Amino acid sequence: MHDPTTKIDDPDELDSMQLPGSLMESFDAYREDSFRSATAEFTPSQLDWYLDLLNRFREPEDRQDSLLGVLDPAMCTVDHPAWDAPPGTRIEMPALNSNLAKLADRNSLFAEFARDEIQHFRDLAESFANEELLGLASIARAALVDRAATFEGRQDAIHYLALNASALLEGLWGVDNGMWPKAPPRQIEFEDMLAKKQAELRRREATRPAFEEEDFVCYSEDEVRAFAIDIRTLLLRGRAKHLAICPRCRSRVKYWSGVFEGLERVTPSRDGRPDA
């Protein structure tokens, strides 16, 4: 039986929308919205090709299930105070690798790794057209919430993607993270995502069917058998809403429907139905 306080959205599943509970979650909600806007013009197959390219670049042990997972500005921020801060609209994040590359000494380990990664990505992306790489770079910019980034051509896109999608450079955080604290952090302002998500929930509430407490109560065995014999009784008794939200009761009604259909074929009663 479902908890009657649970909100229902899709008839086949519980509402999965989560309100941001911290500043970091607010920021994540914003970047997910930005990502969705940036990917709206691309087909699912195009996005799959982009993810495949970035995963091949990162090597098998560092693959991610989504572009948002690869292009994550919260990398290595498990101790960031924003995880414990209340929802807000301004956050300080570490510099991106593309920012750091402009400050790094040419002879530093970071610069050496960056040059290798750029060349590696350039080789992998050889079969991608210029506009395709620029499209992926625009997606990366949205996922990273990097409003200052601009791309004038193919090489700009390659540099940006190689630096910010590199698992090798991510690994430097655990080996030599002295460069990141020296780089100016990013100050990011964004819209009030708690208020936005609350408004979205209210809009959903206005369009979804109203559920009463009794709609969350599972059917008795007598009800299940009655509904299986004649589905019209489900509507007559006003119990149809529960069937939409309870997979267990759907399975029970389906099972007994099959049982009674089998009995009809073998031992039909005078009115064409088995005597239950």
Burial of residue 187, with CB atoms counted within 10 A of its CB: 0-12 exposed, 13-18 middle, 19 or more buried: exposed
In single-letter form, the type of residue at position 184 comes to P
Spell out the SS3 assignment of 76-137.
CCCCCHHHCCCCCCEEEECCCHHHHCCCCCCCCHHHHHHHHHHHHHHHHHHHCCHHHHHHHH
pLDDT at 2 > cutoff 90 = no
Indicate the domain borders of the chain: 23-203, 213-266
Higher pLDDT, 142 or 11: 142
Tell me the average pLDDT across 260-275. 61
- How many other CB atoms are there within 10 angstroms of residue 252's CB atom? 20
Task: Name which of 127, 110, 126, 128 is nearest 166 in CA terms.
Answer: 110
pLDDT at 155: 97
Task: Name which of 164, 9, 153 is nearest 96 in CA terms.
Answer: 164
Backbone angles phi, psi at 211, to 5 degrees: -115, 135
Backbone angles phi, psi at 130, to 5 degrees: -55, -45
What is the pLDDT confidence band of residue 249, given thresholds at 50, 70 and 90? confident
Higher pLDDT, 12 or 116: 116
pLDDT at 143: 97
pLDDT at 3 > cutoff 70 = no
The pTM of this model reads 0.69
Q: What are the pLDDT digits (tens) for 156-215? A: 999 999 999 999 998 887 666 667 777 889 999 999 999 998 898 788 777 766 677 787
DSSP classification of residue 166: -
Q: What are the pLDDT digits (tens) for 70-120? A: 999 876 666 789 988 999 999 999 899 999 999 888 998 899 999 999 999
Strands (E), the chain: 90-93, 186-189
pLDDT at 10: 40
pLDDT at 55: 96
Q: What are the pLDDT digits (tens) for 37-70? A: 999 999 999 999 999 999 999 988 899 999 999 9
Distance from C-alpha of 39 to C-alpha of 46, rounded to nearest angstrom: 10
* Residues composing the chain: 276
DSSP classification of residue 170: H
**What percent of the chain lies above the pLDDT cut of 90?**
47
Q: Kindly provide the b/e burial profile for residues 156-168, where b requires at least 16 CB atoms within 10 angstroms of the residue's own CB.
A: bbbbbbbbbbbbb
* Strand, coil or helix: 8: strand
CA angle at 207 for the pair 3 and 239, rounded to the nearest 5°: 45
Cβ 85 vs Cβ 22: under 8 Å: yes
Hey, what are 50's tokens?
Answer: 């982009």
What is the pLDDT confidence band of residue 217, given thresholds at 50, 70 and 90? confident
Distance from C-alpha of 136 to C-alpha of 113, rounded to nearest angstrom: 22
* Strand, coil or helix: 14: strand
